[in-house]
């Protein structure tokens, strides 16, 4: 062994350490805080344990516990501890696999006699896990031959199947299997088959919680045994765990599917079929408000409004290529009068036909076509999810045709337009992604890709939005910008997209006559802003927990007379508000005031106006704003002025 080794760090610096030093030693030599936060290392590009000696000349990065990589190590290590606890408490249990997943981990088990876990078992398993953590058992890696591996797991059929699969893998991993043993104080060790890495010992874990039990087929195959899956979550600290649990609770409270029913907005009638919602009067009104707003903005921004049908002959989708590359997303064909029709999965080809309906001159470009176009896309019933994943969606879709000179300016104003609209809906925390040409599968001239990608980059810089470049993640026909937002509880949603299409202009042979009187190819940009009205509404409902801003609320104010002799005045107040173009209703005094106020709160109405004796006399109202303090004796005209100012 060398007396001394030298390793390189991610910042380009290097460090000398005694021979035999591990990544853990390296972290400790840099800073105590880093050693405390370290859970694994990346050595020459591969993740390894902190306890493994470093080779001389290695490139080493320390993986810390509050990164996604680090959390995955914590989560997977916690999964081992859970499996160990289950084996302790349920003798004869067979354990299958236990990977980390987003926000947590799971492990699949086969209990003797086909027994099932109950939710009550979780607290016992958790208690045993805490004992294992308390014992601070080291995770010890061993590398075994295939036969040694098979012998170690002789009574674990799922592990045996995995090891047998390793050999069939044509020696990619070699004949060696790695296992991790959690060593108990008495020297015995609980083994798991695993590539690692893991934390150094179970004492490094602890901020976890078991969440639920579910059934899952071995290897996802319904012909194989149904196993018992336990899900858990694990974090780098109790604080991070508590924040996660709080987020889950908040997400549950904000679930748009529940709020949609409670607020009487929409539902999914089984008679119509999965993923096909109907919107009730209040939900329909919110949609209308969204669409009215959007149409007014598009009109002001120089868009032309078009309308296209829901069905088309197959000829169009053959020419557009949808039947080649999007067939799985389309509904089956319909035969009519000897011809084949499809519900449209996208509006683009129809907008192209509008462009092509006559010769175009450079003088009419950019041509910005806009439509609330309803499209139908096949989604498996298993992935349908409220309004966020439906089978018929209405896109606020537009296609912009422009000259090459106009492209960068057009994209810059389009992105600014997108961000303005999102801000008007109260979404302000943006992040964008610039997806570039997929290296192996793309159509069009690489030089055009270069121009289009650069124009998108210019737009991002002009908009001053933080963005990352997703190298090679563009569609095969287009580089694009995806705008993501963070909602009120920190969840990230992908919303708007801006794509420069490098396929359709050729496929449909689009042209315009330039100032030079010659024919040129226009650029075509696809742009959806809400994405889909349905999904955007779902995100708004969850972002606002159902308490939509006043301008989007189906009912903006409700007037509650204290007694029935105040009913007439309440109706007068409502008339005055309606005259000011506010959406208002009256709940007559045929039940006690307290109950009516409670109901108005559940409906998350922006304003509840209570009127009694003094109000009738003085022409005032008592104002109960949503989430604010009650204010009595507000002159009615003052309230009208105030709410109108809020709506500006």
Enumerate binding residues for Zn ion (CB under 5 A). 194, 348, 526
Q: Are 519 and 511 in contact (CB under 8 A)?
A: yes
d(CA 480, CA 571): 53
Q: Which residues contact 17 (CB under 8 A, 6 or more apart)?
A: 4, 5, 6, 7, 25, 26, 29, 54
> C-beta of 508: minimal distance to Zn ion in Å?
12
List 76, 159, 399, 457, catalytic entry = 399
Closer to Zn ion by Cβ: residue 344 or 526? 526
**Residue closer to Zn ion, measured from CB, 194 or 411:** 194
Burial of 507 (0-12, 13-18, 19+ CB in 10 A): middle
Report, in Å, the least distance between residue 646 CB and Zn ion.
36
Q: Terminal CA-to-CA distance of the chain, rounded, Å?
A: 75
Nearest to Zn ion of 23, 194 (CB atom) = 194
Residue 141: CB minimum distance to Zn ion, A: 10
- Smallest distance from the beta carbon of 321 to Zn ion, in angstroms? 13
Nearer to Zn ion, 228 or 320 (CB): 320
Shortest Cβ 180–Zn ion spacing (Å)? 6
Q: Whose Cβ is closer to Zn ion: residue 190's or residue 544's? A: 190
Catalytic residue among 254, 344, 377, 437: 377
644 is catalytic: no
Of the listed 49, 192, 396, 397, which one is catalytic? 397
Q: How far is the CB of 79 from Zn ion (least distance, A)?
A: 7
- Least separation in angstroms between residue 503's CB and Zn ion is 11
Residues in contact with 535: Cβ distance below 8 Å, sequence separation at least 6, in sequence order: 387, 388, 389, 390, 393
Catalytic residue flag (residue 395): yes
Q: Is 480 a catalytic residue?
A: yes
The catalytic position among 80, 198, 480, 596 is 480
Judged by beta carbon, residue 348 or residue 387, the one nearer Zn ion is 348
How far, in Å, CA of 157 to CA of 102, rounded?
A: 28
- Peptide bond between residue 234 and the one before it cis (omega within 30 degrees of 0): no
In whole angstroms, give the CA distance from residue 25 to residue 79: 26
351: annotated active-site residue: no
The per-residue DSSP string of 145-207 comes to -HHHHHHHTTT-HHHHHHHHHHHHTTTSS-S-EEEEEEE-TTS-EEEEE------SBGGG---
Interatomic CA distance for residues 604 and 321, integer angstroms: 47
Report yes or no: 559 and 584 within 8 Å, Cβ to Cβ. Answer: yes
Query: What Å distances lie between residue 314 and 233, 310, 311, 336, 632, CA to CA?
Result: 49, 13, 9, 12, 65
Minimum CB distance to Zn ion smaller for 163 or for 194: 194
Q: Which is nearer to Zn ion, 49 or 121 (by Cβ)?
A: 49
CB of 162 to Zn ion, least distance (A): 12
Q: Minimal CA–CA distance to 343: which of 385, 294, 308, 387?
A: 308
Q: Which of 84, 156, 395, 556 is flagged as catalytic?
A: 395
Token look-up 């202009």 returns: 505
Give every CB contact of residue 22 below 8 A, 6+ residues apart in sequence. 50, 51, 52, 53, 54
In the bound complex, what is the minimum distance in angstroms from residue 406's beta carbon to Zn ion? Answer: 18
Find out whether 200 and 141 touch, Cβ atoms under 8 Å: no
Euclidean distance between CA atoms 635 and 412, whole angstroms: 47
Give dist(CA 328, CA 378) in Å, integer.
7
Q: Does 399 qualify as catalytic in the annotation?
A: yes
Active-site pick, 526, 527, 543, 566: 526
Q: Which residue is nearest to Zn ion (CB)?
A: 194
* CB-based contact 607:559 (threshold 8 Å): no
Quick one: which H or E segment has residue 14?
A: strand 14-18
Closer residue to Zn ion (CB): 71 or 526: 526
Beta bridge partners of 35: none
> What's the CA gap between 49 and 319, in Å, rounded?
54
Q: By three-state DSSP, how is residue 412 classified? A: helix
526: annotated active-site residue: yes
Task: Provide the annotated active-site residues.
Answer: 348, 377, 395, 397, 399, 480, 526
């Amino acid at each position: 062994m060398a007396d001394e080794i030298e390793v390189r760090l991610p910042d380009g610096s290097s460090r000398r350490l005694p021979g035999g030093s591990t990544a853990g030693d390296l972290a400790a030599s840099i800073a105590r805080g880093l050693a405390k936060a370290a859970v694994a290392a990346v050595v020459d590009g591969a993740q390894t344990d902190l306890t493994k000696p470093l080779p001389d000349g290695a490139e080493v990065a320390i993986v810390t516990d509050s990164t996604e990589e680090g959390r995955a190590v914590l989560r997977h290590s916690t999964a081992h501890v859970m499996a160990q606890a289950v084996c302790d408490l349920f003798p004869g249990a067979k354990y299958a696999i236990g990977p980390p997943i987003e926000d947590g981990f799971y492990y699949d088990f086969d209990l003797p006699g086909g027994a099932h876990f109950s939710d009550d078992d979780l607290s016992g398993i958790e208690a045993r896990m805490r004992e294992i953590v308390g014992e601070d058992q080291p995770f010890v890696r061993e590398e075994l031959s295939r036969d040694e591996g098979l012998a170690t797991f002789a009574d674990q059929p799922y592990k045996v199947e995995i090891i047998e699969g390793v050999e069939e893998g044509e020696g990619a991993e070699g004949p060696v299997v790695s296992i991790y043993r959690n060593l108990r104080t008495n020297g015995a060790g609980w083994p798991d088959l695993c590539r690692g890495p893991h934390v150094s010992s179970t004492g490094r874990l602890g901020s976890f919680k078991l969440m639920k039990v579910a059934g899952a087929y071995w290897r996802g195959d319904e012909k194989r045994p149904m196993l018992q899956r336990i899900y858990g979550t694990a974090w780098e600290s109790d604080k991070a765990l508590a924040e996660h649990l709080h987020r889950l609770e908040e997400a549950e409270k904000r679930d748009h599917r529940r709020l949609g029913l409670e607020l009487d907005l929409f539902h999914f009638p089984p008679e119509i079929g999965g993923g096909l919602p109907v919107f009730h009067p209040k939900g329909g009104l919110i949609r209308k408000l969204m669409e009215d707003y959007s149409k007014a903005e598009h009109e002001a921004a120089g868009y032309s409004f078009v309308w296209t049908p829901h069905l088309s002959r197959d000829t169009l989708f053959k020419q557009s290529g949808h039947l080649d590359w999007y067939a799985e997303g389309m509904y089956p064909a319909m035969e009519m009068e000897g011809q084949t029709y499809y519900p449209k999965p996208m509006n683009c080809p129809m907008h192209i036909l509008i462009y092509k309906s006559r010769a175009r001159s450079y003088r009419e470009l950019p041509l910005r076509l806009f439509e609330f176009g309803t499209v139908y896309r096949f989604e498996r019933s298993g992935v349908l999810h409220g309004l966020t994943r439906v089978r018929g969606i209405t896109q606020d879709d537009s296609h912009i045709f422009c000259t090459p000179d106009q492209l960068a300016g057009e994209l810059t104003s389009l992105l600014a337009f997108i961000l303005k609209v999102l801000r008007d809906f109260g979404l302000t925390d943006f992040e964008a992604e610039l997806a570039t040409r997929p290296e192996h599968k793309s159509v069009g001239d690489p030089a055009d890709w270069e121009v289009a990608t650069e124009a998108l980059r210019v737009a991002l810089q002009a908009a001053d939005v933080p963005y990352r470049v997703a190298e090679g993640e563009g569609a095969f026909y287009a580089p694009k910008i995806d705008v993501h937002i963070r909602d009120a509880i920190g969840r990230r949603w992908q919303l708007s997209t801006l794509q420069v299409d490098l396929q359709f202009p050729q496929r449909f042979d689009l042209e315009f006559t330039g100032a030079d009187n010659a024919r040129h190819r226009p650029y075509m940009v696809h742009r959806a802003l809400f994405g889909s009205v349905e999904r955007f509404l779902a995100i708004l409902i969850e972002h606002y927990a159902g308490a939509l801003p006043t301008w989007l609320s189906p009912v903006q104010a409700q007037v509650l007379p204290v007694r029935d002799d105040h009913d007439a005045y309440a109706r007068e107040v409502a008339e005055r508000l309606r005259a000011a173009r506010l959406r208002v209703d009256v709940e007559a005094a045929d039940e006690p005031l307290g109950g009516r106020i409670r109901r108005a709160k559940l409906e998350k109405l922006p304003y509840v106006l209570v009127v009694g004796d003094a109000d009738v006399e003085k022409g005032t109202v008592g104002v109960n704003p949503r989430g604010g303090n009650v204010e009595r004796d507000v002159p009615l005209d003052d309230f009208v002025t105030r709410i109108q100012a809020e709506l500006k």
